Amino acid sequence: MSTTMTVFLAYLALLVGLAIWSRRETHSLKGYFLAGKKLPFWVVAFSTNATGESGWLLLGLTGMGYAVGAQAYWVVVGETIGIALSWTLISRKLKRLSDKSDSITLPDVISAHFDDRKHHLRAIAVVIILTMVCAYVTAQMAASGKALSSFTGMDYKTAVIFGGIVIIAYTFVGGYKAVSYTDVVQGVLMLAGLIVVPVVAIEAAGGWAAVTDSLRAIDPSLLSMWSVIDGGLPGWILLVSFVAIGLPFLGVPQLMTRFMAAKDDEELRKARLMSVAVILMFDIGAVTAGMAGRALFPELADAETIFPTLSSELFPPLITGVLMVVVLSAIMSTVDSLLLLASSAVVRDTMQKIFGSEKSDRRLAVIGKLVTIVIGILGIGFAIEEVKFLFWFILFAWSGLGAAFGPVIICMLYYPKATRQGAAAGMVVGFVVTVTWILFLKERTYELYEMIPGFFIGLAVTFGVSRLTWRDGQRGHS
């Protein structure tokens, strides 16, 4: 057995151990889906970042750094602003609302706040979550296959199946607590990898001056963040789109549940600074690694394989094995959360709330585990046919969730006259505009990032319909 595979198997053993240790929390819905709302700040901080970044960070963003150079630092700006706003504007207020209503899912919080007794908002939320999670999980499973095959030479389809089974297994056994604590391990590994790899790559290229000389010889625009606007209006649209990649942090449900799972308000306050600092280091490391990789390996057929290429070419087998684990960690830390998100939408929101299932909490938790398996298998099945352009495919799912829920969450927390009808309209319109923009309008608008029209039109519709349906004297959550 190769050294790389030995390291990988040792990592899998660690994940299994964490899953078994977490198993006691999985016998209730609150335990399985929110770890009993007992997570400390450092777990919440790392879990939020690891979940939000995914294989997009180590394959997609490094590949973007490889392809467009310093222009990719605008994504760093956008993500740092986005996560900072999410912690500042949403985390503590959402936590208080979820505790007050004893909520387990984000649709729980929205339904309770807007007194959604007929479950219309909940049904809309479930449809959006399941649609986008299928796309998201498929992309992440494809990323795991691409990473495993790059590192080990394993056939792509075999790699997808193997990686998927591992993720499903520990999510099934340990639930949200296992997912959150493995996110800490995965987040620390990701941070270490994104410090070590760019440093070693720059050194291997002969120093940063040598990297810049090589990139200048390839294309001088690779060295300037502002070169993106050289093309006039299309360039400005691209710059704004890069920055707007941070907007979904204001609404994606898999991150909102991190806030809900924190032990208390004080833990969230402490988690905020750690989270923002770590995501800044994540993103800078990813873009820089891609740029250094372009100087070292300028002829790669697939830019999104640059991190695995650097890891296998510049390090001894033991370290290569660890770095393979880093890539897989980024993917696993998102897939496990998505599986739980979809499972909670089926079991808590659909079975228990919409259809009024009278099964015991313990029995529903068991069903939740089985749903996790089914959704994971579906993701593997779709990913078998290799997904190209992971960066953009993952952004599609990321923005669809963010545009659907972000505007409603902001109005719910900051606009007392927001109504149930406004929330329903905002969710539907934000989601539909995002999907429509990708399918029909994106190519005609210089590739304007779909989250921008989806989010702001969704926000305007939520506000506008609420104004039209508000009646004097009614409660703000009616």
pLDDT at 472: 65
Q: Is the pLDDT of residue 475 over 50?
A: no
Model confidence at 412: pLDDT above 70: yes
Angle at 236 between CA 234 and CA 238, to 5 degrees: 70
Assign 31 a pLDDT band (cuts: 50, 70, 90).
Answer: confident
Residue of 115 and 368 predicted with greater confidence? 115
**Which residues have CB under 8 Å from 144's CB, separation 6+?**
55, 159, 160, 163, 164, 167, 328, 331, 332, 335
pLDDT bucket at 388, cuts 50 / 70 / 90: low
What is the rounded average pLDDT for all residues in the chain?
A: 89
Q: Which residue did the predictor score with more confidence, 400 or 170?
A: 400
For 27, 182, 324, the CA distances from 331, given in Å and listed in that order, are 26, 12, 11
| CA 70 – CA 271 distance, rounded (Å) | 29
pLDDT at 391 (0 to 100): 56
Per-residue pLDDT at 474 exceeds 70: no
pLDDT for residue 473 = 47
Band (pLDDT 50/70/90 cuts) for residue 478 is very low
What pLDDT, on a 0 to 100 scale, did the predictor assign at position 476? 45
pTM of the model: 0.89
Distances (CA, A) of 231 to 210, 226, 449, 450: 27, 11, 17, 20
- Domain boundary assignment for the chain: 3-392
Rounded-to-integer distance, Cα 297 and Cα 319, Å: 20
Distances (CA, A) of 295 to 282, 306, 324, 431: 21, 11, 22, 40
Residue 203 class from Cβ within 10 Å (0-12 exposed, 13-18 middle, 19+ buried)?
middle
Residue pair 369/219 in contact by the 8 Å Cβ criterion: no
What's the mean pLDDT in 244-249? Answer: 94
**Mean pLDDT across the stretch 18-44?**
82
For the cut 60, the answer to whether the pLDDT of residue 477 exceeds it is no
Write down the architecture of domain 3-392 according to CATH.
Up-down Bundle (1.20)
| pLDDT the model gives residue 305 | 87
For 35-91, the pLDDT digits (tens) are 788 899 999 999 899 888 877 788 889 999 999 999 999 999 999 999 999 999 999
How far, in Å, CA of 245 to CA of 241, rounded?
7
Confidence of residue 387 (pLDDT cuts 50, 70, 90): low
Residues paired with residue 262 on neighbouring β-strands, in sequence order: 39
Over residues 296-303, the mean pLDDT reads 93
Tokens representing residue 50 in the block: 């690891």
Query: Which is more confident, 115 or 391?
Result: 115
C-alpha torsion sign, points 418, 422, 428, 433: negative
Q: How far apart are CA 398 and CA 137, in angstroms?
A: 11
The pLDDT tens digits for 197-237 are: 999 999 999 999 999 999 999 999 999 999 999 989 999 99
Distance (Å, rounded) from C-alpha 23 to C-alpha 19?
6
pLDDT at 139 over 50: yes
Span 341-358, mean pLDDT? 93
- The pLDDT of residue 372 is 84
> Residue 450: which of 425, 431, 463, 464 has the closest Cα?
431
